[in-house]
Amino acid sequence: MRLTIFLKNEAQDLIRLPSERVGKPLGASADAILDMAWLFPFFIQMACSHAIEYLDDHPNATEPDFREVRRRFYEEAKLHYRYVWDGFDLHQKSTVLRVARGKSMPDALRHVLAELENRHYVEHDRSRPRLFASTFEEFVKTEADRKDSVWSRLMGRR
């Protein structure tokens, strides 16, 4: 099943309203949450859950420590990112990796980039493509580094 995204104001409401109801308002932290989750409701709920859990664990904190929230979020999101990554074909993986590394896109992959934009895995930031969330970018780079490392070991290089 393909995930869809919210409009930005809907995403901000999903961050703000439920957290206010439980007495842990996260509206002021919307940018940090959207950096991790983008506009995907599933990932927004996951990020908010970790932020609220952090506040529950640290009752004297006035706001979440987003380095820690991001770490917790990433540990959980990796499983879902793996599912997305494994569903990509080789051209999609190549395109996503090029975007993550800030490399130019060959004409032969432009249609793949457009498809990934339609699925909201790639967005535009100041006229250059970027992956939908910083945490997904981290996952993609880590995955590529891991594959490169395995390949180097198999080929006898270090």
d(CA 29, CA 48) in angstroms, rounded, equals 10
Q: Is the pLDDT of residue 154 over 70?
A: no
Residue range 13-21: mean pLDDT, rounded: 98
Q: Count the neighbouring beta carbons within 10 Å of the beta carbon of residue 148.
A: 11
d(CA 125, CA 132) in angstroms, rounded, equals 10
DSSP string for 29-42: GHHHHHHHHTT-HH
Report the chain's mean pLDDT, rounded to a whole number. Answer: 92
Q: Is 89 in a helix, a strand, or coil?
A: coil
Give the pTM: 0.88
Q: Using N-to-C axis directions, what is the helix angle for 134-154 and 66-87, rounded to 10°?
A: 60
Which carries the bigger pLDDT value, residue 78 or residue 1?
Answer: 78
Q: Using N-to-C axis directions, what is the helix angle for 134-154 and 30-37, rounded to 10°?
A: 40
